[in-house]
Amino acid sequence: MISRTTIDTVFETTRLEEVIGDFVQLKKAGSNLKALSPFTDERTPSFMVSPAKQIWKDFSSGKGGNVISFLMQHEHFTYPEAIKYLAKKYGIEVEETEQTNEQKLQADERESLYLVSDFAKRYFHNTLLKVEEGKAIGLTYFKERGFTKETIEKFMLGYSPNQWDAFTNTAIKEGYKLEFLEKTGLSIVKEEKQFDRFKNRVIFPILSMSGRTLGFGGRVLTNGKKAAKYLNSPESDIYHKSKVLYGIYHAKQEIAKENNCYLVEGYTDVIQFHQTGIKNVVSSSGTALTHEQIRLVNRLTKNITVLFDGDAAGLKASLRGIDLILEQGMNVKICTFPEGEDPDSFAKNNSFEKLTNFLKENTKDFINFKASILASETKNDPIKKAETIRDMVVSIAKIPDVIKREVYVKECSRIMDISEEVLFNTLAQILQKERRYLSERAKKSTHSFDVISSEKQPVQKVDIQFKLEKKLIELLLLYGVNEENFEEVTIETNENGEIIFKSEIVKAKVFEKIYLDLQEDEIEFTNENLKELYHDLITCFNQEQEFQLDHFINRLEPEKAETVTHLLMDDEKYHLDNWESKDIYVKDKDYSIAQIVTETILNLRRYLVSQKINELSEEINELDTQQKENSLKDIVDYLTLKKILSEKLNRVL
């Protein structure tokens, strides 16, 4: 268990915007920060972070909470793992008791896969640096590639011995179950025997954006024809190669800082670039680029520069990846290296200055690059030239932004010496065809419409009391300790029996006003979660000299913290739309705190009175004469009270 002192220190030190900023590119939105959702595929921001309250809300998926909730949702951490991650990030020493073997066994399957993978990473790295075979074969190979000791440590490079079961046997002796070794793909089980998947290979650990070990890439060092040169971990519950980019953990901050991501093909390309000094680089690890990988970069920047080998085979086929990037609304540039060179070799043989200068001078916009590649094939063949132009327009059609499309059409017209009108007509045809295809596919995937009677579609009733209870909790969270001037209204009757309202201004804290008014009317919260939050808040206000919202949220269980986030962030949604740029200004919610508090309490009272009137009215037919008279008298009294409450409301509205 992690000590309470450590947890408190972590929360006091952690800044939510810094942590989320490691995974998502945040932009200013009023007093908050906004971004594209890291949980859904979207093109307009619906993710909001409040630095003041230290909470976040994703309006597209409905998720929200504090810094721990984010790590648990985004990285699938357990609560202790999230605390340890933050402690490591901020250099905080973790006080905890040692985990027993029994506790390790009780960890759920997914966590067991992470534990096994992390052990494997350490085992391979230790074998590379401290075992004679590893030093003689693996370490020699990496040194020949030009990797320094610091680089090898940074990327936790490793070596798997040339024995059938060296790793598997060691892992089992250390208490790791064969079941999980097999599920991660580290071990291959056949009947009564088990083998190491990465036998006699140098190892490249593949990390998530937060630094968790997901899988491995292994390169064989022998020239045998049977063995594949590179071998990756198979798909598992924690490793999906289409959703992973090698190097993203080490590159994420530099990508956001430079507002650009270099995309290469191999592991060593990434490592060599890092060692040379360019750190905003990731690799698709030899797989075809996927939408999920592009979205991973899209969280950090809108700009991708794709780096191709000088003699890359199938360069034309690689251009399909560029179209995928364009579909995501991102900006694409391309750079090719001289013939016989690749990013690894070029970075190894050149200084940081020469490499950066080369990238600046040789990086082309995608349309110019595509034109040069395709045009070189056409020469003087008019038919091939027409096909090339159409191919370029197909790429332009992938761009969702209308203005960008027009700019690229004009550029294509200039490069290929063809009229803009022809290109715009071709673009319109392609877009129309695409829309028609999507429409037909949508029709096929949906059932024909059935006429459904309104009786089968009941209108969902609004739970008024729940909404009012939510509002009271929100007011307590935001303004509980604020001292406000409240108008206290008393009722008198004059000589003619008319109701007269007399008011006086009373100074009180918001939480005192709410608590005393609810106590006076003996009003209890009906929602259990909100009732617990209410009592937690009142206790906190009474016991602590200074109430700090972020501290209160951080002490809550993740489920309660998420509830609080929804209450506080829902009204912030309008900031996502940047209304001020349209000369529309939304009234601040603390415009009149006392008025809102009074209005909410009066509305709750009036609602409860209405409920009581309805309840008595439904029961009256089942009563005897005397009971009916008493109930009618009660109903009249409640109606009078409801009228008084309504008049009071009119005074504060």
User: Is the residue at 450 inside a domain?
Assistant: no
- Specify whether 83 is located in the same domain as 200: no
User: Is the residue at 305 inside a domain?
Assistant: no
pLDDT digits (tens, 9 = 90+) for 321-332: 888 898 888 899
531 vs 35, 385, 469, 519, 560, CA distance in Å?
A: 33, 72, 9, 14, 11
User: Is the residue at 479 inside a domain?
Assistant: yes
- For residues 102, 107, 111, 116, the Cα torsion angle rounded to the nearest 10 degrees is 20
CATH number of the domain that residue 158 is part of: 3.90.980.10
User: Is the residue at 454 inside a domain?
Assistant: no
pLDDT digits (tens, 9 = 90+) for 286-336: 678 888 899 888 888 889 999 988 665 556 656 778 888 988 888 999 998
Q: Supply the pLDDT for residue 650.
A: 62
Residue 573, pLDDT above cutoff 50: yes
Among 31, 50, 215, 48, residue whose Cα is nearest residue 116: 215
Higher confidence at residue 116 or residue 645? 116
- Specify whether 437 is located in the same domain as 545: no
- Specify whether 434 is located in the same domain as 486: no
Q: Supply the pLDDT for residue 263.
A: 95
From 239, 271, 295, the end of a domain falls on 239
pLDDT band at 577 (very low <50, low <70, confident <90, very high): low
Higher confidence at residue 600 or residue 105? 600
119 vs 46, 94, 437, 582, CA distance in Å?
A: 38, 20, 49, 55
User: Is the residue at 346 inside a domain?
Assistant: no
Q: Of 50-64, 100-114, 401-415, which gets the smallest average pLDDT?
A: 100-114
Q: Supply the pLDDT for residue 494.
A: 61
From 408, 441, 474, the end of a domain falls on 441
Total tally of structural domains belonging to the chain: 4
Q: Supply the pLDDT for residue 449.
A: 39
Burial 98-111 (b: 16+ CB within 10 A, else e): eeeeeeeeeeeeeb
- Specify whether 212 is located in the same domain as 172: yes
- Specify whether 413 is located in the same domain as 490: no
- Specify whether 83 is located in the same domain as 109: no
Burial class (CB in 10 A: 0-12, 13-18, 19+), 312: middle
Mean pLDDT of 125-149: 96
Dihedrals φ, ψ of 188, to 5°?
-110, 125
Residue 453, pLDDT above cutoff 50: no
CATH number of the domain that residue 78 is part of: 3.90.580.10
Q: Of 138-142, 280-284, 645-649, which gets the smallest average pLDDT?
A: 645-649
Higher confidence at residue 487 or residue 426? 426
Q: Supply the pLDDT for residue 539.
A: 85
pLDDT digits (tens, 9 = 90+) for 578-589: 544 544 444 455
pLDDT digits (tens, 9 = 90+) for 147-174: 999 999 999 999 999 999 999 999 999 9
Q: Supply the pLDDT for residue 586.
A: 43
Among 358, 345, 242, 351, residue whose Cα is nearest residue 296: 242
- Averaged confidence pLDDT in the chain: 83
276, amino acid identity: T
pLDDT band at 555 (very low <50, low <70, confident <90, very high): confident
Q: Supply the pLDDT for residue 144.
A: 94
User: Is the residue at 431 inside a domain?
Assistant: yes
- Specify whether 550 is located in the same domain as 631: yes
- Specify whether 128 is located in the same domain as 234: yes
Which residues lie closer than 8 Å to 644 by C-beta, 6 or more apart? 491, 499
**DSSP H or E run through 361:** helix 352-362
Mean pLDDT of 561-589: 61
Indicate if the alpha-carbon torsion angle 318, 323, 408, 363 is positive or negative.
Answer: negative
Higher confidence at residue 100 or residue 207? 207
Question: What is the percentage of the chain residues whose pLDDT exceeds 90?
Answer: 28
- Specify whether 29 is located in the same domain as 123: no
- Specify whether 214 is located in the same domain as 130: yes
User: Is the residue at 24 inside a domain?
Assistant: yes
Query: What residue numbers bound the domain in which 178 lies?
Result: 101-239
- Specify whether 468 is located in the same domain as 372: no
Higher confidence at residue 415 or residue 220? 220
pLDDT digits (tens, 9 = 90+) for 346-389: 999 999 999 999 999 999 888 888 777 766 666 677 888 888 88
pLDDT digits (tens, 9 = 90+) for 466-521: 888 888 888 888 888 888 888 776 666 666 666 666 667 888 888 888 888 888 77
User: Is the residue at 406 inside a domain?
Assistant: yes
- Specify whether 414 is located in the same domain as 512: no
Counted residue by residue, the chain has a size of: 653
From 223, 239, 255, the end of a domain falls on 239
